[in-house]
Amino acid sequence: MSIKCLIVDDEPKARMLIQDYIDQISWLDAIGNVSNKLDAIELIKKYQPQLLFLDIHLPHYSGLDIAKNLKYHAEIIFITAHAEHAVESYNLEAVDYLLKPVTFDRFLKAVKKVKRRLSTKDKYSDHFYVKVGNVMKQLHWSKILYIQAMREYVQIVSEGGKVMVYKRMKEMESLLPTYLIRVHNSWIVNLDYIRQMGSGKVWIGNIEIPVSRARASDLLQRMRDKMA
């Protein structure tokens, strides 16, 4: 599972430090780092990141305001140089509160909390919704066989059939439960439906799916973990 993140901080050095920390962790994916409210709102609406790093003290507004006005649930880590804001941040059910300058060890402790929260949610929520035409369609993660990228769309193939969804592959990857894994730039597969593995490929039913060299070792490890 890759967790989509957005960094909002008016200090360039602070943004770049958090960006660098995110880049060191394979299961975090920064969709952007911005310095102002308008850019933050635009990216939040477009990508609905699962994790927001919000500086509390920003020119003309507060990161607390962004958190209060979210239209969906996101995990929030507040970052600030002012310790007196801690109480209000926890009132918003923030995952954590990081005091500048943020060390990598402290950052890692905070994001691991987020990962545990999201992993727990995976255990209890198997369904999700996608927009197909003018309707919202319910799908079940556990019944997905594979997902294939098709330019700006993804094709989701499940036991119930196929749907085309307007979504980036990387964005789709960030939502996946642990039994779905990306094995190629254009393919995500359900480990439970793999019937055969070969050199650089897997089979789901009669469909032969390529596995890239860069992702082969991760796939093998995940298969071993399932058999353990």
The more confidently predicted of residues 33 and 151 is 33
Check whether 106 has a pLDDT greater than 70. Answer: yes
Q: Are residues 16 and 102 in the same domain?
A: yes
Q: Are residues 112 and 150 in the same domain?
A: no
Q: Are residues 51 and 133 in the same domain?
A: no
Check whether 122 has a pLDDT greater than 60. Answer: no
Residue 197's domain is classified under what CATH number?
A: 2.40.50.1020
Q: Are residues 61 and 88 in the same domain?
A: yes
Q: Which residue range(s) make up the domain with 104? A: 3-124
pLDDT the model gives residue 168: 83
pLDDT the model gives residue 227: 63
Last residue of a domain, one of 124, 151, 167: 124
Check whether 140 has a pLDDT greater than 80. Answer: yes
Lowest pLDDT segment from 25-39, 53-67, 175-189, 204-218:
53-67
Q: Are residues 149 and 101 in the same domain?
A: no
Regarding pTM above 0.75, the answer is no
Q: What percent of the chain has pLDDT over 90?
A: 51
End-to-end CA distance of the chain: 20
Are 74 and 50 spatial neighbours (Cβ–Cβ below 8 Å)? yes
Buried/exposed 55-71: b ≥16 CB within 10 Å, e otherwise: bbbbeeebbbebbeeee
Q: Which amino acid is at 205?
A: G
Residue 188: strand, helix, or coil? strand
The more confidently predicted of residues 173 and 6 is 6
Q: Which two tokens stand for residue 86?
A: 């801690």
Q: Are residues 143 and 60 in the same domain?
A: no
Check whether 104 has a pLDDT greater than 70. Answer: yes
Last residue of a domain, one of 124, 147, 169: 124
Last residue of a domain, one of 75, 103, 124: 124
Q: Are residues 93 and 10 in the same domain?
A: yes
Q: Are residues 92 and 113 in the same domain?
A: yes
Lowest pLDDT segment from 61-65, 81-85, 209-213:
81-85
Check whether 87 has a pLDDT greater than 60. Answer: no
Q: From residue 54, how far is each of 35, 40, 115, 124 by CA, in Å?
A: 10, 10, 18, 28
User: Using 50, 70 and 90 to split pLDDT, how confident is the model at 91?
Assistant: low
Q: Are residues 10 and 98 in the same domain?
A: yes
Q: Are residues 195 and 158 in the same domain?
A: yes
Residue 107's domain is classified under what CATH number?
A: 3.40.50.2300
Domain total of the chain = 2
Residue 50: strand, helix, or coil? coil
pLDDT the model gives residue 226: 65
Q: Are residues 101 and 134 in the same domain?
A: no
User: Using 50, 70 and 90 to split pLDDT, how confident is the model at 178?
Assistant: confident
Q: Are residues 95 and 199 in the same domain?
A: no
